[in-house]
Amino acid sequence: MAVGYKKIRFIRWLFVFTMAVLPLFFLEGWFRDLRMAALAKEGAIENSLTFTYTGGREIKCYKTPYGEQEGVSYVFFPSYADLAQVGVDTAAGRVDFAGGEGTAAVREGEHAVCSFEEGIPYQVSFYNSSGRETGRKKIVFLKSGKLPTLYVSTQSGNMEALDADKSYKEKAFVELLDETGKELFSEDIKSISARGNQTFGYEKKSYQIRLKSPEDFMGMGESDTWILLCNVYDPAYIRNKLTYEMALQAGMPASPRSEYIDVYFNGVYSGMYQLCEKVQVGENRIEIGDLEKQNRALNGEVLDYIEGFVSEDNRRKGTRLASDPQDITGGYLIEHDYGAKYEEETSGFITGLGDHYVLKNPQHASEAEVAYISGLMQEIEDAIRAEDGRHPVTGKHYTEYIDLESWADKYLVEEITRNNGGGASSSFFFKPEDSISTKVYGGPVWDYDKGYGNASRHNKNTRDLGLLTLHASNTAWFYYLYQHEDFVETVKKEYREKFADYLAEMAERKIDEYLAEIEAAAVPDRVRFAHVYDSLGEGALDYKAQAEMVREFIRERKAFLDEVWLKDAEICMVRFLQEEGEVSRCFGVKAGECIRELPDENRKGRNFFGWRIAGTQEMLTSDTVITQDMDAYVVWE
């Protein structure tokens, strides 16, 4: 009797257990089907797929939001990935791939290894647990080539905070692999932060990474700070690379070295970047005394929280330090900047001409340090503006203040590239301690995505001199320098010996060399950021056509500059003046030619009409033949 009761109780328990558990199996499939239906409704059913490639790395599909390929999903692989051994997992009941040389089926719960062909559109069908089709997608697999790959895994697992605020920094884990997949670097880093001015507004951004200790990336020299340049404003990808290599070829001190790489942020393909050295004081960079480091050693590591100062005339600013280093004559890294950017910086000064200079090192400069370097730079300004080139008080010639060769080289790079920002921002100078040199040096070079005709109107003109006055917030220093025969003769010598032949090398060989290097990598980058590049203007998506425009610009520019600096063509100076007589811009025009594109002026509340030739009622136009130096005054409607 007891045995029978126990048997009945067991059967009852088994029945209850079965009735409770069995629906869970069906519920699991039911919930999975609900999730798939929701993804299908959102048009994101491809998110049910996860792909695994060499090294066990996972990646998801990217759905294009723009153009003819809108809605097509792409899977972006680095150069070393093996597309014949791609792992596929899915949350769908079943997924069928049809395309290329065959088909493949992947079921939920199984890890399949598939072979895919690059660039082939696969028709992919998604099915629920009962075998009913819930959606279709077109998926294309793209693979980079020849380039190393950088993986950045942020502490938060996303880029939202970084991409919203340049001042925000986050810890991360970084891996650098060469094009074959060999590990070159793998460590936690101090921080990653976004950077850039105009480019910060684009979806593809530039970043700075800070390592815990100096590392030599790809033979570029040890450093703990590296820049990831997005090159988003340069649809040809090559403007910065060409210029940095030109500066290196010319032997300009601390010129940045760089290499193209592919970047993945938190496992998501983020495009082709240019990994390069930062313009900074330090070993393998600008090798001068590090005043910022000395200031921190004397005043503690809390300089960010020490009270700042602004001089009574509002022309100098810095940090109120308790102690100064014994030698404050160097080193200084100085950047010419425009007003809005100047206001964001900690230390700097404004010259008598109104030029704004930021101290990048020391960033937290004391009153004595700011007074020293601003006084020196003011003496330079006063000397180069003097007709005889001598400071009116000290009697020193401007060549006693500056390293003439490096300033001539700096001018040449900006003039050759016709860099729109060359006289406004990212324009660097440095001063070593007096024990090394009492002079200020021009350089290093930086930021040329707006060069080679990649800016509007007069910036595209290859047949005049801009004298670093292309930008509205320019420096007039090189305009004044060009009034001195010894500076012009140094420019001619440097151009003849360092630049003239290399410009031909750039146009005829270097451009092709860089294009061949990035050809495979440019394809996925163009797909991923098609909507960004296309916003830059008509034809911006065709990077090879854009590169041909750069090539033609270099050829035309070289032809003109050869006439000026190798054949001594007569140059007439045309100064563009405000009503009060202030020089806005100055162009050097070959005698007998016209200014192809005149500059315009933007002023709030006033409409620009044109330029009136001084001493006449005649308007200066693009048809006016220039036969002598002249001034032209702005005319408002």
Whether residues 392 and 345 fall in one domain: yes
Sheet holding 73-77, edge to edge: 62-63, 73-77, 133-143, 121-127, 94-99, 102-107
In the structure, what pLDDT confidence band is assigned to residue 603 with cuts at 50, 70 and 90? confident
The average pLDDT across 285-292 equals 97
Cis ω on the peptide bond leading into residue 253 (within 30° of 0)?
no
The candidate with the shortest Cα–Cα distance to 51, out of 136, 123, 129, 112, is 112
Whether residues 362 and 305 fall in one domain: yes
pLDDT digits (tens, 9 = 90+) for 296-346: 999 998 888 899 999 999 999 999 999 999 999 999 999 999 888 899 999
Q: Phi and psi dihedrals of 56, rounded to 5? A: 75, 20
Residue 23 has pLDDT above 60, yes or no: no
In the structure, what pLDDT confidence band is assigned to residue 17 with cuts at 50, 70 and 90? low
* Residue 498 in domain: no
Contacts of 205 by beta carbon, 8 Å cutoff, 6+ apart: 163, 194, 195, 196, 199, 230, 232
pLDDT digits (tens, 9 = 90+) for 49-71: 999 999 999 999 999 987 777 88
Whether residues 414 and 298 fall in one domain: yes
Whether residues 445 and 323 fall in one domain: yes
Q: Are 88 and 80 in contact (CB under 8 A)?
A: no
Q: Virtual CA dihedral for 411, 413, 415, 419, nearest 10 degrees?
A: -110
The average pLDDT across 124-148 equals 94
Whether residues 313 and 353 fall in one domain: yes
Least confident of 244-258, 378-392, 590-604: 590-604
Whether residues 461 and 512 fall in one domain: no
Residue 16 has pLDDT above 60, yes or no: no
Bridge partners of 73, per DSSP, are 63, 139
Whether residues 511 and 479 fall in one domain: no
| Ramachandran area for residue 243 (φ above 0: left; ψ -120 to 50: alpha; else beta) | alpha
The average pLDDT across 113-142 equals 94
Contacts of 90 by beta carbon, 8 Å cutoff, 6+ apart: 48, 49, 50, 106, 107, 108, 126
* Residue 46 in domain: no
Pairing mode of beta strands 258-265, 149-154: parallel
Rounded alpha-carbon distances, angstroms, from residue 563 to 2, 304, 330, 549: 115, 52, 40, 21
* Residue 576 in domain: yes
* Residue 459 in domain: yes
The two structure tokens encoding residue 214? 């100096």
* Residue 628 in domain: yes
The candidate with the shortest Cα–Cα distance to 409, out of 434, 429, 392, 425, is 429
Whether residues 300 and 429 fall in one domain: yes
Whether residues 336 and 388 fall in one domain: yes
Range of the domain at 511: 507-636
- What type of residue is 263? V
Write down the mean pLDDT value for the chain: 93
Bridge partners of 105, per DSSP, are 96
Q: Are 308 and 317 in contact (CB under 8 A)?
A: yes
* Residue 469 in domain: yes
- Residue 24's pLDDT is 43
Contacts of 539 by beta carbon, 8 Å cutoff, 6+ apart: 545, 546
Whether residues 379 and 474 fall in one domain: yes
At 587, which CATH number?
A: 2.60.40.4270
The average pLDDT across 139-158 equals 97
Residue in the structure block whose two tokens are 């000397």 = 383
Whether residues 478 and 563 fall in one domain: no
Whether residues 537 and 479 fall in one domain: no
- Residue 26's pLDDT is 47
More confident residue, 128 or 5: 128
* Residue 224 in domain: no
Q: Phi and psi dihedrals of 301, rounded to 5? A: -90, 25
The pLDDT > 70 percentage for the chain reads 95
* Residue 601 in domain: yes
Q: Are 386 and 484 in contact (CB under 8 A)?
A: no
- Residue 196's pLDDT is 86
Residue 45 has pLDDT above 50, yes or no: yes
How far is 595 from 587, CA to CA, in rounded Å? 8
pLDDT digits (tens, 9 = 90+) for 537-584: 889 999 999 999 999 999 999 999 999 999 999 999 999 998 888 888
Residue 22 has pLDDT above 60, yes or no: no
Domain count, the chain: 2
Contacts of 142 by beta carbon, 8 Å cutoff, 6+ apart: 74, 75, 76, 77, 118, 119, 523, 524, 527
Burial per residue of 473-506, b for 16 or more beta-carbon CB atoms within 10 angstroms, e otherwise: bbbbbbbbbbebeebbebbbebbeebbbebbeeb
The pLDDT > 90 percentage for the chain reads 83
